[in-house]
Amino acid sequence: MPKELLRRAGQAFSILQLSALAVRPFHCPNCGSSLLVRIAPNAIGVRCLRCAASAATLALMSVLQSTRPSFANESVYELSARGPFVEFLRRRVSGLTCSEFFDGTAPGATRDGVLCQDVQQLTFDDASFDVVTSTEVFEHVADDERGFREVRRVLRPGGSFIFTVPLTDADATVERACLRDGRIEHLLPPEYHGDRIRGQHRVLAFRNYGRDITQRLHTGGFASAHIDERYACAFLGHGSSVIIARA
């Protein structure tokens, strides 16, 4: 069995809850006719059987297609370099740039053929892209205002930043940790998420975003920002709200 299939099978088994099991046919925005499978009662536990896109990723794909229908002919920057959403973009976008953040690798350098970028100090020129996308990234960015300003800087006039973060219904974002003099200071008990590079429960969440994320984007220089909730529960009761900010 290929290594990626083994990884996906192991991940699925680790979150499997038999009481949540459900299956239905659906049209995946990435791979077409497929089955939607729920193995756990959350957005990560709902997947396309063919491409393994999660409900959160399916929501992002759907919003990108509907709100930026010209994206396939535009210059797109995605803040990751692997996974179903990157596969979705690579099939459609000729002008695609992808990157990862690697500890110990300078922004702009490459590691194993993958471009390294720190969203707090991007190495791209001003107005380099029409669209920037990301999935569950900014909760892990120590200085998110600086990151939002960098995304705004590299977007062309009229460009869009379309992304997801874990979003609560609270009015205000809760800061969980911060950097002081180069050291992490925990304001609340640490909360860790996982990613494909570092593994499960290895990536610190600096905050839990509330609905004021739109104001934070305005502070970061965007002309407008709103939360698209059309796909928040669209996939067997799960999905994600998607944030759209325009330069």
Residue-wise pLDDT tens digits, 9-29: 445 545 657 677 999 999 999
Q: Cα–Cα distance between 223 and 246 in angstroms, integer?
A: 6
Q: What is the structure's pLDDT at 199?
A: 52
**In DSSP terms, which residues pair with 6 in a beta bridge?**
none
Q: How far is Cα 54 from Cα 176, in angstroms, rounded to an integer?
A: 26
Superfamily of domain 57-225+241-246 in CATH is: Vaccinia Virus protein VP39 (3.40.50.150)
Strands (E), the chain: 22-28, 32-38, 46-48, 75-78, 95-98, 110-111, 114-115, 129-135, 155-164, 174-175, 177-180, 183-186, 192-195, 199-204, 207-208, 224-228, 242-246
pLDDT tens for each residue of 79-93: 999 999 999 999 999
Under the banding of pLDDT at 50, 70 and 90, the label for residue 201 is: low
* Burial class, 199, CB count within 10 angstroms (exposed 0-12 / middle 13-18 / buried 19+): exposed
